């Protein structure tokens, strides 16, 4: 099969969406398929192929709600003109999906789509977007959801969508087949009998690192020595100290991009890009872009996190915090050496980190974000701490309650080991990327056969 994946970002960019697409694309290549990924062009990308996957980058950004900026016509021509058998677009509310709306009927390939949660469903700015979406969904041959009860699948059912499958996320059997490294704790000055806790996600308020730190402070661990690893890429969400710096960085990015377009395509293309961006209110308007796309409360977050960490050390009782950004192999070892994975993110769809925790044989404690409760049930590795959602669907974490449940779980390490073993077993049976790829391949063949 000739397969096209549409993903707003792809390697070397790092993130949950990128990882899912990478796992599927590379495994499809190993099965003999011709695979291309259409994605955002990145200056840091050194090659147009990676592990057999062809990468076609486009200078496009945005979505229909905020405006799409860049070479949209080129992208549409590419999708229409290439003889793909099937295309799979990952996620709504981003340009690889939104830019195809006007030309869906002209695309000869069979069309499949992973809605990926509809994070903007309750946001006023997306009201018109979701009013138009039902007609778009009906033009796809098959939809794929990660959860059996979530806002995206429930939305689709209300619109009469019947051609869909539920395929969970997973974790790589290649990565998690490694043995636990006994020297991991030694490398990080953690005693073998100390409690070790881990959370993973980009450092920022939405991923819950601050809430986890507050819960760790509140947790009564009976003075048992314990280390909390807060792992995450600082990236854009913590590197800035003011809105002015955010705007300055965007200005530098824009200047570099315009120079690149000028050098490679000349003045007319550069001028066209500027005009198009102004008309669509895209990221040329740096202040608005910064305010809408970045956490402008970064200084508050950094200050709060630092204050909580200081309070943890002042509390005594043998607690310590490691703020890390591990390499992938070292992160796998962190998963495998931890006694408990803790997760307090405010917004998710189907968190990969919970599957990775189960794959490592480590139980998890999570708030009911995305379909975390369903993952806990599927894997048998998780406990869910109650937490409400606000009117826009964001989870509101109670650090005190989370800390109480955390301390209760940590008091019974034998039970934690049993949960971890159950999770590892269930992951190996149902949630490896190899078995998940089987299901995607089957759907692709089915939609092609019924063309």
Q: What pLDDT score was predicted for residue 205?
A: 84
pLDDT of the chain along its 451 residues, tens only?
999 999 999 999 988 899 999 999 999 999 999 999 999 999 999 999 999 999 999 999 999 999 999 999 999 999 999 999 999 999 999 999 999 999 999 999 999 999 999 999 999 999 999 999 999 999 999 999 999 999 999 999 999 999 999 999 999 999 999 999 989 999 999 999 999 999 999 888 899 999 999 999 999 999 999 999 999 976 433 332 333 443 444 454 455 455 554 554 556 555 654 554 444 433 333 333 333 333 334 557 788 999 999 999 999 889 999 999 999 999 999 999 999 999 999 999 999 999 999 999 999 999 999 999 999 999 999 999 999 999 888 999 999 999 999 999 999 999 999 999 999 999 999 999 999 999 999 999 999 998 6
What residue spans define the domains of the chain? 2-170+432-449, 183-237+297-430, 245-292
What fold characterizes domain 2-170+432-449? Answer: Rossmann fold (3.40.50)
Q: What pLDDT score was predicted for residue 292?
A: 32
Strand partners, 90: 114
183-237+297-430 has CATH 3.40.50.2000 classification: yes
**CA–CA dist 307, 336 (Å, integer):** 29
pTM for the full predicted model: 0.82
**CA–CA dist 185, 68 (Å, integer):** 47
Q: What pLDDT score was predicted for residue 236?
A: 34
**337 is written with which tokens?**
């050496």
Matching residue, tokens 């940590």? 410
Matching residue, tokens 């606000």? 390
Topology alike, domains 2-170+432-449 and 183-237+297-430: yes
* Residues 46, 48, 50, 51, CA torsion sign: negative
DSSP strand pairing (53-58 vs 49-50) = antiparallel
**CA–CA dist 431, 118 (Å, integer):** 23
């Amino acid at each position: 099969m000739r397969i096209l994946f549409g993903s707003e970002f792809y390697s070397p960019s790092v993130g949950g969406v990128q990882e899912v697409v990478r796992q599927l694309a590379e495994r499809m290549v190993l099965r003999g398929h011709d695979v291309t990924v259409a994605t955002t062009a990145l200056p840091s990308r050194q090659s147009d192929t990676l592990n057999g996957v062809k990468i076609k980058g486009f200078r496009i950004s945005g979505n229909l709600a905020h405006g799409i900026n860049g070479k949209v016509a080129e992208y549409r021509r590419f999708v229409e003109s290439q003889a793909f058998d099937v295309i799979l677009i990952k996620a709504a509310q981003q340009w690889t999906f939104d830019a195809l709306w006007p030309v869906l009927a002209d695309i000869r390939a069979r069309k499949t789509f992973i809605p990926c949660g509809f994070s903007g469903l309750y946001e006023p700015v997306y009201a018109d977007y979701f009013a138009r979406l039902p007609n778009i969904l009906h033009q796809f041959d098959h939809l794929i959801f990660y959860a059996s009860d979530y806002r995206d699948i429930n939305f689709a059912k209300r619109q009469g969508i019947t051609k869909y499958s539920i395929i969970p996320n997973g974790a790589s059997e290649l990565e998690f087949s490694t043995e636990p490294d006994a020297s991991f704790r030694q490398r990080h000055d953690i005693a073998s009998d100390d409690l070790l806790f881990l959370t993973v996600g980009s450092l920022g308020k939405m991923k819950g690192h601050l809430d986890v730190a507050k819960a760790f402070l509140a947790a009564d661990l009976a003075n048992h020595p314990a280390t909390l690893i807060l792992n995450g890429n600082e990236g854009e969400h913590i590197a800035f100290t003011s809105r002015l710096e955010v705007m300055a960085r965007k200005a530098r990015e824009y200047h570099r991009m315009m120079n690149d377009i000028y050098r490679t395509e000349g003045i007319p293309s550069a001028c066209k890009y500027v005009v198009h961006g102004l008309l669509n209110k895209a990221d040329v308007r740096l202040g608005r872009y910064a305010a809408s796309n970045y956490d402008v409360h970064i200084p508050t977050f950094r200050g709060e996190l630092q204050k909580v960490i200081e309070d943890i050390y002042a509390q005594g009782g043998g607690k310590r915090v490691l703020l890390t950004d591990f390499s992938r192999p070292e992160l796998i070892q962190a998963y495998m050496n931890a006694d408990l994975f803790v997760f307090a993110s405010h917004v998710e769809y189907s968190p990969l980190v919970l599957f990775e925790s189960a794959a490592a044989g480590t139980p998890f404690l999570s708030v009911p974000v995305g379909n975390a409760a369903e993952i806990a049930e599927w894997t048998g590795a998780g406990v869910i701490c109650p937490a409400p959602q606000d009117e826009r669907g964001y989870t509101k974490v109670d650090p005190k309650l989370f800390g109480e449940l955390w301390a209760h779980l940590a008091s019974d390490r034998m039970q934690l080991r049993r949960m971890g073993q159950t999770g590892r077993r269930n992951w190996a049976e149902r949630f490896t990327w190899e078995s998940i790829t089987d299901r995607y391949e089957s759907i692709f063949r089915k939609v092609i056969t019924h063309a």
